[in-house]
Amino acid sequence: TKKVEKVGMISVKSLPDGARIFLDGNLALATNTTLGNLKGGTHKLRVEKDGYSSWEKDVPVKEELVTFVDVVLIPRSVEIKPLTTSGVSYPVINSNKDKIYFIAKVSSDLDTPQRSGIWALDLNSSIFNIFKTASSLVFPDTKAIAYSSADLLDLSPSDNQMLIKMNDKGYYLADLSGADLPVATTTAVPTQDIWKKQVLAKKKTLSDKYKLSPELEKISSDPKTLWSPDEKKFVYKRKNEKGDSWQYYVRNLSDPLGVGEKDEYLVVTVSLDSKTEFNWYPDSKHLIMSECDSGKLPCVSGSIHLVEIDGTNNTQIYSGSMSLGSVFPTPDGSKIIILATFNQSAPPNLYAISLR
């Protein structure tokens, strides 16, 4: 027709790749490609792959611009593998999100190479043969100190120190580099106060970088506010106008905003008595939402969902035994590590849920 029109494009990537793309109901191409010659407006996009839950969304297209879409597909039947067998307690992840520390207390009648003490699990390693490859014994029990009897573990923001709570009046401050022996102390307050100030200082640096308003600066610096791995977003909660439910929001500080992106999203609304926690998925575009079935703590059963930051494509990953507060994604996003008990007569252990 010799008519020139302005068009836009959609770039679609998926994990795993090789999924089918349906544009406005018609099969287009496979993922990890660009759909071109699209008229401006809203297009319905659906991504499917055999064995995975489908993904669907209304995607805006603007003339002369590219809309980027990142899809994470969840297997319909996930694979769960044990990482420990003799019992684990108080797992805690470092600030880099690549190492989990935990307490293991091994019974003398168990036939296992594992020793009692404080262990570290490297999430960047192959984690299905934990006690031969990915784990290391950081502080083994000795005749003088039974680290496996500790009540709690806490890590410094710089990941170089660990506070080990033995009881209400006894702590050890340990150097994780191994240069110095753990130091006994009767109180954790001075150490924890220093660590809180370090966390606050980092959040203050980020809020200054984005020149946030006083209200947003207060929210972004709150201890419960979680900044994304790319440090361009944070998730927080506040009560709705009626004050009868919690609303979780993501503040998006990306500059410039991508096509169709907003500076704030409402992710989900839950009841006031709901026990819900969020972790960031490594791509900073999705959240891992953990919910307790009973609404009471300690949580013994719940569900885990992956949800986009705008609240769409809320997909269940897992439902069953789990400990709230002990749900950790691996750095590459291929697995979710949980603390769970599948046998009531056995202690909790770490398990890996494979997403691909």
pLDDT score for 186: 92
Pairing of strands 8-15, 66-72: parallel
pLDDT score for 131: 44
Q: 24: buried, middle or exposed (CB in 10 Å: 19+, 13-18, 0-12)?
A: exposed
Return the sign of the alpha-carbon dihedral for residues 52, 226, 161, 209.
Answer: positive
Please name the residues in contact with 348: beta carbons below 8 A apart, sequence gap of 6 or more. 87, 88, 89, 323, 339, 340, 341
- Counted residue by residue, the chain has a size of 356
CA 56/CA 313 separation, integer angstroms: 7
Which segments in the chain show pLDDT lower than 50? 110-111, 129-132
Return the sign of the alpha-carbon dihedral for residues 19, 23, 28, 33.
Answer: negative
Q: Cα separations (Å) of 288 from 64, 101, 142, 279?
A: 34, 20, 38, 5
CA 219/CA 146 separation, integer angstroms: 40
Smallest CA-to-CA distance from 149 within 133, 172, 129 is with 172
CA 49/CA 16 separation, integer angstroms: 9
Hey, which residues does 72 pair with through a beta bridge? 15
What is the number of other CB atoms lying within 10 angstroms of the CB of residue 252? 20
